[in-house]
Structure 1
Amino acid sequence: MKVEVLIGNIVKQPDMDAIVNSANANLRMGSGVAGAIHTAAGPRLEDYCRPFAPLELGSALITPGFLLPNRWIIHVRAAHYINNTEPERYLAFAISSLLNTARDNQIKSIALPAIGTGVFKFPAELAAAITAKTISQYSKISTGIEIIRICVASEELCDAYRCAFERELHDASLA
């Protein structure tokens, strides 16, 4: 499995089978990534999601991409870093859930944002470390996903995620 980290817009990844929405419990438009994805996918997305709300912490839901160039959207719900208990555990669950959902739907390429770092207030380095560790562990036990692209909005986030994946590769080589 190849992992890329880049500065980019999550809704402008036409070569990916699926993109990931860092969703709110109600699976509504919201702000940040959820707002951008709902806007780009069009109003049918929110209508489609309504019966599946509320989305449980750490859970994933797959929907059509509607007006997006991607066939699928995988919605995951991370915990709010300040307001929820065990936010680190739920972020790892969310990452695992999205990877399992991708595998179960034969998705080969997936783009995800820096889940939890926006309105959910996760510190960038912590979110990056959890994401890198969860993806690294997953890649050892499951196959099918060929490429994961992490699309972030700033150089700071890009550095945090690249460093986390480099540390994870280094730690894996020592094991």
Structure 2
Amino acid sequence: MADLTIECVQGDIANQPDMESIVNAANARLMPGSGVAGAIHSAAGPELARECESLAPIAPGQAVITGGHGLPNPYVIHCLGPVYGVDKPSDELLGNCYRNALMLADRKGLTSIAFPAISTGVFGYPIEKAARVAVDAIQAVAGKLTSVRRVRLVLFSDQDLAVFRKALNAGGTSG
């Protein structure tokens, strides 16, 4: 993990031009929706939805990769996070989103990946819990990564940024 940089920033996941890949907090059908999925599909253009058609549906925790189309990033990795309190075990499924996206990026030879706070919007995952699960999952696979060297957590609000920074500084500790 010594050669893996994990950073937290406030911003727009659809505007991370220095990253090779961004992660879409997708719906099962991988189609435009609200929140992160809506922002990414809007920025990427209709070609992204067309490419996604043949990859859907996906299950909670699963990750698939497409081109970035109109985005400044060559790739988008789509993950379906769990609906909190419905998809169980929620912590394991959410962690799988981060682990599977990282391993997919690594297999593709990518060096950088940016994540939103998966499942914390309409899927209702409590931000503090989600931050701990995300940090733990990233740290759990860090030693297995051969090409990914930079992970960015992109948070929409100041409050979410503070929560994720606290989890990162504490080393995660979900459970």
Q: Kindly indicate which of the two structures has a greater share of residues assigned to helix.
A: 1
In structure 1, C-alpha distance between the alignment counterparts of 2:42 and 2:64, rounded to whole Å: 18
Query: 2:95 is aligned with what amino acid?
Result: A
Name the structure 2 match of 1:96.
Answer: 99
Q: Report whether the alignment pairs 1:17 with 2:5.
A: no
Structure 2, unaligned stretches of length 5 or more? none
RMSD: 1.2
5 Å-filtered alignment, 1:1-175, equals: 1-168=4-171
- TM-score w.r.t. structure 2 length? 0.94
In structure 1, C-alpha distance between the alignment counterparts of 2:123 and 2:89, rounded to whole Å: 13
Structure 1, unaligned stretches of length 5 or more? none
- Superposed CA deviations along residues 71-103 of structure 1, whole A, max 9, x for unmatched, are 000001111002222111100111111001000
- Superposed CA deviations along residues 76-132 of structure 1, whole A, max 9, x for unmatched, are 111100222211110011111100100010110111101111111110010000000
In structure 2, C-alpha distance between the alignment counterparts of 1:106 and 1:141, rounded to whole Å: 13
User: How much identity, in percent, do the aligned residues show?
Assistant: 38
In structure 1, C-alpha distance between the alignment counterparts of 2:88 and 2:14, rounded to whole Å: 31
In structure 1, C-alpha distance between the alignment counterparts of 2:149 and 2:121, rounded to whole Å: 27
- TM-score w.r.t. structure 1 length? 0.94
